[in-house]
Chains A and B, each alone.
Chain A
Amino acid sequence: NAGVTQNPKFQVLKTGQSMTLQCAQDMNHNSMYWYRQDPGMGLRLIYYSASEGTTDKGEVPNGYNVSRLNKREFSLRLESAAPSQTSVYFCASSENRGEIYEQYFGPGTRLTVT
């Protein structure tokens, strides 16, 4: 099992450009998540998808859109990138053991917006 995979690993964008970050998991998990991690701040949830066909906002959704393409794939789109979106982006998926959702992460995408 590859677990959670993300593409690309690194990306540099100019302000105003758009891009889609790809995420896929092969663990048959129902729930998937997108986070960003910035220095001096804990991981912050951008969007999540509790199950195929549903998406919900997290703490910092502005400037982002998501698509849960199928059970395996959950993409994050930046329509018009801004320097404030320079960050490391992590995708995660979770299985639930009763009410406990243990999240497993991909290796991250390092995005720089100039």
Chain B
Amino acid sequence: RKEVEQDPGPFNVPEGATVAFNCTYSNSASQSFFWYRQDCRKEPKLLMSVYSSGNEDGRFTAQLNRASQYISLLIRDSKLSDSATYLCVVTRAGNNRKLIWGLGTSLAVNP
């Protein structure tokens, strides 16, 4: 089993749609969780850290379910500019500087 698993997609949605991505992780001792976005041939950019109580940043909502070891990202009112690959990231147990990266979920928002 991969340490971080994501549905690779692609997810094709129209502008204005709501889309959700899930990610599962294998190590119950992981302590920190993140969503990054990566545009084609660019660097990953931090979208948001994921807190235990869940958190929201504008149109983006992240949830953490420690019992089921999964993280979700919800994007409301999708924009064309949201088209990217979304990377789920968790920390290695015992070292919060070491990250385990998922392969990403590809999103295409269409006009």
Contacts and interface: CB of A to CB of B under 8 A. Distances in A.
The finding on whether chains A and B are genuine partners in a shared complex, rather than unrelated, reads: yes
**Interface size classification for chain A:** 20 to 34
Contacts, number: 51
Interface stretch (A13-21, A37-45, A62-70, A79-87): A37-45
Interface residues of B, number: 21
Contacts of A104: 46
A43 B100 CA distance: 8
Interface string B79-105: 000000001000100001111111110
Contacts of A50: 97
DSSP class of A's interface residues: helix, strand, loop or mixed?
strand
Given A41-B103, A42-B103, A102-B49, A94 B97 contact: yes
Interface of B: 4, 31-32, 34, 42-46, 49, 87, 91, 96-104
13 contacts: A40-B103, A42-B87, A42-B103, A42-B104, A43-B99, A58-B98, A90-B44, A99-B32, A100-B32, A101-B96, A102-B49, A105-B43, A106-B43
